[in-house]
Amino acid sequence: MAASDIFAPNNPPFKSLVAAKDGSNFTYTSLHDRVPHILTDVINDFYAAVQNRTGEGSEAAVAEGKQLTSELSKLKHEMVTDKQLVPLEDDGTGDIAVWNNWLATYFPGITWYNAPFITWEPYMYRRIATIFLRSQHWRSYDFFAEKKESTFKASMVAVAKLCGRVDALTKETVGDLENKTKMHLAFVEMLQASLWGNQTDLSMFPDLSNEALEEIQA
């Protein structure tokens, strides 16, 4: 057996995280709950953007926006009903052939719940991007902008506190560069702050309320 076959995407050295294999694992809860929630937010936010579109060319943009909303809803339906991962449509960016060849070679006819986690999640985001990139009026639309902005505003207090703490740690260590213990402790504290930032990752906690966000960041 060739090395390329041993480490092929459909034959990894360790067991793939597949949602259908175990209803209690992270992959299952992601595909069943977390990611559909994210996609629902994308659809709802985009629908609102379409309804609020005004100005020159708005009529055509609204009409196209409704079509894109339908495509996003179709994607969600395929996901939650365990349909096959269909080939991506060409959006002119140059990697579609690579994507489709990869799917056809390693995962022909694979369904969402039987595909590895590291296959279906990137595929979903790439397909969302394709939907917008193939459009005329919504190519530059940031489908996470609303969520990112609102969450950032809700995090301002925590951001200010963290900036203040980092500034204090920097001044403490710069003022005593020979103290290796102090430098080590400062490094560990900053590293932990960076790692704990994942606690407010929007992809991990799509339904996090402002109150819960503040509690986690406290």
Is 137:57 a contact under the CB 8 Å cutoff? yes
d(CA 208, CA 201): 10
Is 113:29 a contact under the CB 8 Å cutoff? no
* HSE, side-chain direction, 13 A CA sphere, residue 35: 24
d(CA 138, CA 65): 8
Low-confidence residues of the chain: pLDDT under 50: 1
SS3 18: strand
Q: Which helix (H) or strand (E) holds 35?
A: helix 35-51
pLDDT at residue 58, as a whole number: 94
d(CA 120, CA 36): 12
pLDDT at residue 59, as a whole number: 95
- Which residue in 43, 110, 126 sits closest to 77, CA to CA? 43
Query: How many C-beta atoms lie closer than 10 Å to residue 152's C-beta?
Result: 10
DSSP characters over 80-137? HTT-B-PPPPP-SSS-HHHHHHHHHHH-TT-BGGGSBHHHHHHHHHHHHHHHHHT-SS
Please give the C-alpha separations between residue 12 and each of 7, 19, 24, 101, 117, in angstroms, as whole numbers.
Answer: 5, 16, 22, 18, 12
pLDDT at residue 100, as a whole number: 98
Top-level CATH class of 17-143? mainly alpha
SS3 9: coil
d(CA 129, CA 118): 17
